[in-house]
Structure formats: structure tokens, C-alpha cells
Amino acid sequence: MAELFNQVLGFPSGLLGTLVFRRRKGGNIIALQPTPRSSPLQDNEVGLRSKFALAGKIASKINSIQVVKDVWPKNTGKGSKCNQILKVNYDLINSAENLGSVTVGPLFGFNTINPVLTAGVSGVHLVTDALGVNVGIDTSIEKFIVAAGIIVLQTPTLENLPQTQVMAFKSIQHNLDLINEIDHTVEFNGELLSMYQSYTTRKVFACLITLDDTGKAVRYSSTVHS
């Protein structure tokens, strides 16, 4: 791939012989026309493609939860926050078949004590011991707390369903309480409930996010899983 700086050709776009011209972020890119692959994919290539596709689904759903998206730092490069979420989680995932780890918020959030995250019949439930006063939370600024995350659904009950689906969820806003246990439940209904109950394997990943009095995200916990 090359970039065209001298505009003697104007702003070409499309196919010219074996070259493809296209515009990207204000620049002119020249690339060779792709050719069909002659050899079949190897098992490791299929695995890597499946892993990347799953990381993309996970990143997209995490990015769709505004309070979670807000706690991810701005990308210093040209990529979006979603690309950054994808990159971090791609490194954590083992494979589509053996999921491994996922992080909802950035790495190294505040710790929760004895978290228990479960996937129930119609929703998810997160309980932790009291956060306590030594986790760095400033109650003069942080007033509310929510639980948010994703569910990776696998092993469909119907043949026509995708092998893997990813759902996003967020609990209702609770008053921030550092002294008593955290207890958040998210119940699904309608189409989300139908999707949720159409899979027998449900792996849940979630974090806690504190909010100020305007509902803006302030701080996040490390990710916990079911």
C-alpha cells in the first residue's frame, strides 16, 4: 500500500489496471487489487479469524454502554475507543471455543471484595461485600453506582442461531454506599430475554462504575466474571 502526496492526478478513486485508488481520512491511498486465495485456510488461520470476530463483537457491545465507554481513555493514535477495547480484549481471549478472560473496563480498576456474579434464568445478579472507605472513592463527587457488562452466549438451543452471541447490560442507578454490600440485578424481557434463553452457555463479565450527581462516569472496578 502507498499514499499519493502529489495531486497531479487530481483525486482518483476506483480501479486502474491492478491498482486500487481510494480516499481515506483526507489522503489518497494506492493499493494492489486483491486476488482470490488459491489455498484453503489452515486450522490456525480459521481459529485466529474466529477469535478476531469474537473480540470485535465483544468490543462493539462494551462500546455500546455509554458509561463504560466513558471510562476508557481516549486513544492517543487515530483509532477509536472501540478499536482500543478490541485490541485489549483480543490479547485476553484464548479462542472462540475456550473464551478465557474479558475486561469490560480498562485494566486495573478498584478491587471488589468476594464478588459473586451469576447468570440466572432471566437475568444476571452481582453481589459483593461492602466496598469500604479505602478504595479511593470520593463520596463528595461520586454519588451513584451501576453494574455494567456483557454476556457471551454460546451453545444455542436452535440450529439456525449463531454459535456465539454477545449481549450488553447495565443495572439501574443505585445510591453509592460504601458500608453495605453491593447487590445489583438486571432482568431481561422481550427480544433480549428470548435471545438470552436461547443459549445454554452464558458467561458474564461485569464491572462497577461510580457516577457523579449528573450521571457521568467517574471510577470503575476490575472486571469480575461468572
Tell me how far apart the alpha carbons of residues 141 and 138 are, in angstroms, rounded to a whole number.
6
- The mean pLDDT value of the chain amounts to 89
Please give the pLDDT value at position 221.
Answer: 97
Confidence of residue 202 (pLDDT cuts 50, 70, 90): very high
| C-alpha grid cell, residue 67 | 458509561
The model's pLDDT over 6-23, given as tens digits with 9 standing for 90+, comes to 555 556 566 666 677 777
- The pTM assigned to this predicted structure is 0.81
The model's pLDDT over 25-47, given as tens digits with 9 standing for 90+, comes to 666 777 766 667 667 766 667 77
CA atoms within 13 A on the CB side of 201: 12
Please give the pLDDT value at position 13.
Answer: 64
Percentage of residues of the chain with pLDDT beyond 90: 73
Percentage of residues of the chain with pLDDT beyond 70: 85
Please give the pLDDT value at position 62.
Answer: 98
Q: Is residue 2 pLDDT above 50, yes or no? A: no
168, 170, 125: which is closest to 147 by C-alpha? Answer: 170
Q: Is residue 194 pLDDT above 60, yes or no? A: yes
Q: DSSP string of 88-125?
A: HHHHHB--SSS-B---SS-SS-BPPSS-EEEE-SSEEE
C-beta of residue 128 within 8 angstroms of C-beta of residue 174 = no
The model's pLDDT over 84-118, given as tens digits with 9 standing for 90+, comes to 999 999 999 998 888 999 999 999 999 999 999 99
Confidence of residue 82 (pLDDT cuts 50, 70, 90): very high
Tell me how far apart the alpha carbons of residues 173 and 184 are, in angstroms, rounded to a whole number.
9
Amino acid at the residue 10: G
Please give the pLDDT value at position 43.
Answer: 62
* Least confident residue range of 67-71, 134-138, 209-213: 134-138
Tell me how far apart the alpha carbons of residues 179 and 163 are, in angstroms, rounded to a whole number.
42
How much is the average pLDDT of 77-82? Answer: 83
How much is the average pLDDT of 208-212? Answer: 98
Host H or E run for residue 80: none
Tell me how far apart the alpha carbons of residues 115 and 214 are, in angstroms, rounded to a whole number.
27
